[in-house]
Structure 1
Amino acid sequence: MALYFEGGTFLHKLNPLVKLAMSFAAIVHMILFPSFLPVAVHVVTGIVLLAYVRPRLPRALWVAVFTLFVGHAWVNAALYRGGTPIATLGPVVLAWEGVMLGFKLALRVLAIVFYSLLAAATTNPRDLAVSLANQLGVDYRYAYATHVTFRMAPLVKRDLENILLSRKMRGYRGSGLIGRIVSVIAPLMALVVKRSITMSLSMESRGFGAYKERTYYKLVKVKKIDYVVASLFLVYLFAITITLHMLGLLGPMLQLTD
């Protein structure tokens, strides 16, 4: 959730658990209908929603997403055996069926990544922790641990960047690959442990966890907009299924039994 940014879109206003449930419903839909077109519709849906939300995502993240897409498609295509050969790259024989399978599976991964980015960019980690405690009944100590985990991620990243900049300013170069790795990991772990101890002492001094129940500065509830958007999304999935089925483009449904 380090990707979160403040915004006024309807996705920002949704309950965090509702967004997770909608993402899960989309993933289940792609599993039940694994053909190309249903998955492609989810990819387009993710692109449209990302264009609407316009999250402030770093360029490196998009490069990582593209690398994941290409890598996943390549591995599945290269491991496919049989089919109609279309190209030979050294010891790897690419078949048309393998390329299509790899592309389809990579599209499914891409759709899941898009839905995950939407949830991460529009969900405040604090709201997620409160929602876990209020709606799911998770112990607030574990819910807070979830919040701390997401909160620590950007801090660790910042510490790593500061360490690398400090080494660069001093012109420091470790001896060998192992020495360079250790010279970065050691101070980074020291900073993480120090911050964890400080946070633990702060929580203990405030009596955090001493009582079974606690009050909240801000309550996160399931509101009318949550029911409306979740219902519309389910109707959307149903409409996709019916439309593609009527056009003969839905493809076979996943067989759960022999």
Structure 2
Amino acid sequence: LRGGEQGLIEKLDFSKIPNAAAMPEAYRSPYSVSYEFYSSVLAYSQKTFPKDAPNSWVDFWDVKKFPGRRALRNHPIATLEAALMADGVAPDKLYPLDVDRAFKKLEEIKPHITVWWTSGAQSAQLLNDGEVDMEMAWNGRVSAVAKEGAKVSFTYNQGILQSTSLCILKGAPNLGTAVKFINEAVDPVHQANLPLNIDYGPGNPKAFETGVIKPERAAQLPSEPANAAKQALMSYAWWSSPAGEAAEKRWASFMQK
């Protein structure tokens, strides 16, 4: 979005990308189209919480009911959304973010955060090694260590649904071919094959109608309609706005306090 506004990214002609045109408007922008989805979720140790596990950001903030070591990402994107949901904001009412309210809520939990992680690998390691009892993490990272035998799990409830996107650089020498590629890349069948190889969901919801993704596999994916309905859809338009840029700058001073 920023690149498009700065003249670095081509504006897409969706009449030439019918597969993308058929996707929900919220899954694309004038300059890009969602390719795959992942989620920032509440993950936890099943050893610490064998029965009554935390199931919302309200629970994450409740250090009395759910005592334990906690970790959050050292970045405002998704973290501010989680803080607002912990303060009672509904997932579909987050934007525009009330930044002051979010940082005030983060001040509450800050003394209880053991680690502010900076990479997906680190977040997975924290859970795997038992260094933290609960944290915000990306769903694929949690699934990966769970498959290796770690006693960890997560909930999609109040997850923040995020996407990687495809776009075309301004002045691309093979523009026509790039447009065809994007259309093929978000073809429902091609998209349905993505989660057979990685724990992230297809960007095109029609992938779930192809029959390629079995119901039990679909239920594990962040963009599966029932799972998506439990989550907040990240607004990249807000984060690329002046307000979003200001929130990113404010994060640095929050962490330095």
TM range (shorter): under 0.3
So what's the TM-score if we normalise by structure 1?
0.26
Higher helix share: 1
Higher gyration radius (CA): 1
Instruction: Give the strand-richer structure, 1 or 2.
Output: 2
